[in-house]
Structure 1
Amino acid sequence: MATGSSWAWKPIARNVLFARAYHSCDVVQGKLLLFGGLKSGEPKEPPLGDMVAFDPTLLTAETVGPNGGDRRSHHDTAVLANRWLCVVGGWDGAHRVSAVCCWDTEQGQWERWAEGPSNDPPVGLSSHTCTKVSEHELRVVGREGGLRTQRRFASIYTLRVNPATKTYWYKEEESRTASRAGHSAMLLRDAGGYQLVVFGGRDSSDCEVAGRWGKGKIHVESIHAPKMTEQLSRLVGSENGSRQAPKGLRHQSCTVVGPFAVAFGGETLTKGRDTVCNDLYVYDTRCSPPSWFRFPCSDRGQKRVGHRTCLWNDKLYLVGGFGPDGKTPCPEICVLEIP
């Protein structure tokens, strides 16, 4: 267990199937679905292509989709209609891709969706973010380019998806953000509706807005987590906040919990050898302007990079990632405990 001044990660399950990094983790029909990622830090090792289901009630894990289809790491995902796990972009072992494929949980099989007639896709995507706006619209932000091509800015795309016709199409927005890779995106409520705020993924502490929507435009159910919200409120009430986001941090995890966003781990963009982090950050949007709170951890064993956090049934889960050396995957699932 990692101990901070007032929080801890408690391991609840251990399985070799969880030992991966730069994967995705989503809740679908009450189970955590892990897809893809890397088994080691070796640059020539191909990504995984398996789907693993973890039951947080029974604490059991099983492979529901074998390593036979598309392989992906550094991708992102969105859940549609609590049925389809939509995988967007990522690294396939040779190229950054922008294609969309979906895992149908009811049929237990992969579906390769087709490009729509007006599709204007990115060259390729990796270490990007994909945020669900509605059952038919996603917002994609981040690293775009071919194998050797890098942009000085990050494009913003609206990705339309249609499960009925199994089609998708990208549209590039006029606005852009600073170049980012391995950043986080937070869909947050504000006075006018919602805004998508991105941070990290570059050597700065700047936050940028990558989209704004009125209250009637967002069709995403907020997860009810009263216990976790109350615990986070107590936690930030004991510290003084800052207006600056974490500086020079990438490949951290970030999950929105009520009026808070909880970020953990990642790696710093410094030249030091010990770059993997284990700090907990809480972004409090209840005040104006919002404030960041940092809660350090003294346990080196809980350093994580390329991991995921996931909110379900009033608990925040930490899944996988590379450990302190930045190349050994952690075969654990933990829950956040705040006394």
Structure 2
Amino acid sequence: MASRSGTQKDKGLLADWELVTSNGPPLSFHVGCVLGNDLYIHGGMETKDGKQPSDKLFRFISSSQSWQQITAEGSPSLSHHACVSLAGRYMLLIGGWDGKTRTAKVVAFDAENKKWLPQETTGFPGDAGLSSHTATLLASGEIVIFGREGSLRMQRRHGNSYILSGSVQSGRFTFKELTNVAASRSGHTSNIVGNKLYVVGGRENNFVEVHDRLKGGEPDNQTITSKLMDIVEKLPPMSKLPGGRKNHVSISGTGVLLIHGGDTFDGRSRESVGEMFLLTFKPTMQFYKLGDSSVRRCGHVCCILGDRVILHGGLGGKNNCHVYSETFCLNFK
């Protein structure tokens, strides 16, 4: 790491969140992915201390910058789940909390036919489940799963990483344990940059975990990459890693990650943070602090939609008691 630290004051951020609409669905710990030209989000919690996850599905229509609820029979009630986009058509939901238990079930939404398609799932331990994990699509079409929440007994008995293979067309998916080396995490993010998968946060220490020889299944957005790298050139590098955090978001470009928000482990506050960091990898891994945004969130969703970075929902406010409905776009200054 470099010897000097970089800081940005709240004012004059080189990029910050700009409100698009405040009329979105109030949700936290939901999931989102891009299908076609629009952003789809599913599930989550509608109140901080709610007992039952939502089964609602919403579409953010990019052309009108408005939200639309999609009603289709068979939508599961889930929060703290994960999802990937397949073929630009299917939203594949993986695991999550159903209000009673952690599940490892897989279900797909077909955006073209507006139908939910239950999938047969095999290979996952019958006495375990998944929540606050991540799912990342590989170039092979397989999906790598990292992390889970659960008792220490469950974590010792079962691994923390899996490969999920199958297809919506066959209606079948199979879990296969990948390795027992992966550290136990929950509320982390996973992104592929180059041929490496970077698992960020989800625990107090060991902030970044790297796994080699994993090629991503989604092309990088070069417009977003260029804008993020332009910012890197204007910032001094940090002298040490950021503090541990969970329930943050991250997006990736060619050679760069953007990290925003989350809950920290350092006891500074009982509220979510608005910190934003950039992480680059060549010639060595290096962090840059973009600044502290007034948009302080955890359990939110962040996706690249066209040439924009969209953020929605999450928990925040005093003692993280408020579930937000706002949708933001990252404004590069």
Instruction: Give the TM-score normalised by structure 1.
Output: 0.88
In structure 1, runs of 5+ residues without a counterpart are none
Structure 1 residue 149: Cα displacement = 4.8
1:125 to 130, 135, 146: 130
How much does 1:180 deviate? 0.6
**Structure 2 Cα separation of the partners of residues 252 and 219 of structure 1:** 21
Give the residue type in structure 2 aligned to 1:330: Y
Contact 1:262–1:283 under 8 Å retained in 2: yes
Query: Does 2:31 align with 1:24?
Result: yes
Corresponding residue for 2:47? 40
Q: CA deviation at 1:67?
A: 8.3
Q: Report the count of equivalent residues.
A: 321
Distance 1:24 1:234 in 2: 29
Distance 2:164 2:125 in 1: 9
Does the aligned pair in 2 maintain the 1:161–1:169 contact within 8 Å? yes
> What is the Cα deviation at residue 53 of structure 1?
0.4
8 A contact 2:147–2:160 mirrored in 1: yes
Q: Measure the CA separation in 1 of the matches of 2:102 and 2:188.
A: 17
- CA drift of 1:270 comes to 2.8
Partner of residue 258 from structure 1, selected from 254, 259, 281: 254
1:15 aligns with 2:16: no
Aligned-residue Cα RMSD (Å) equals 2.2
Q: Please name the residue that 2:106 is paired with.
A: 100
The residue type equivalent to 2:259 in the other structure is A
For 1:25 and 1:105, how far apart are their aligned partners in 2? Answer: 13
Distance 2:52 2:72 in 1: 15
Q: Indicate the residue corresponding to 1:183 in structure 2.
A: 188
Deviations 1:83-142 (A, max 9, x none): 1110000111111111101111111011110125xx234710010000001363100000
2:289 match: 294
Which has the larger displacement, 32-41 or 256-265?
256-265
Counterpart mapping for 1:220-235 below 5 A? 220-226=217-223, 228-235=224-231
Contact 1:9–1:336, Cα closer than 8 Å, also in 2: yes
Runs of at least 4 residues off by over 6 Å = none
Structure 2 counterpart of 1:328: 322
Taking a change above 3 Å as real, the CA distance of residues 309 and 26 of structure 1, as seen in their structure-2 partners, is: same
Structure 1 residues 288 and 238, CA, compared in 2 at 3 Å: closer, same or farther? same
What is the SS of the residue equivalent to 2:229?
helix
Q: Secondary structure at the match of 1:246?
A: coil
Alpha-carbon offset, residue 314 of structure 1: 1.3
Instruction: Report 1 or 2 for greater relative contact order, CA contacts < 8 Å, sequence distance ≥ 6.
Output: 2
Question: Distance in 2 between the 1:112 and 1:99 partners?
Answer: 9
Where 2:145 maps in the other structure, the secondary structure is strand
Distance across 2 between alignment mates of 1:292 and 1:234: 15
**Which moved further from structure 2: 96-105 or 289-298?**
289-298
In the superposition, the TM-score normalised over structure 2's length comes to 0.89
Residues 186 and 243 of structure 1, relative CA distance in 2, 3 Å threshold = farther
Aligned equivalent of 1:151: 155
Per the alignment, in what secondary structure is the counterpart of residue 168 of structure 1?
strand
Deviation, 1:155, is 1.3
State the Cα deviation string for residues 40-61 of structure 1 (Å, max 9, x = none).
111x421111110011121121
The residue type equivalent to 1:172 in the other structure is E
Structure 1 residues 95 and 242: alpha-carbon distance in aligned structure 2, compared to 1, 3 A threshold: same
Q: Distance in 2 between matches of 1:150 and 1:249?
A: 23
Provide Cα deviations, 1:227-258, integer angstroms capped at 9, x if missing partner.
Answer: x3232122111222247543220000011123
Q: 1:267 to 1:278 in 2, by over 3 A?
A: same
Partner of 1:69: 75
Q: Separation in 2 of the partners of 1:264 and 1:114? A: 35
Once residues 46 and 160 of structure 1 are traced to their aligned partners in structure 2, the CA distance between those partners, rounded to angstroms, is 29
Counterpart check, 1:196 vs 2:204: no
Say if 2:170 is the partner of 1:165.
Answer: yes
8 Å contact kept, 1:243–1:290: no
1:197 Cα deviation after fit: 1.4
Secondary structure of residue in 2 paired with 1:69: coil
Where does residue 316 of structure 1 map in the other structure? 309
Partner amino acid for 2:155?
R
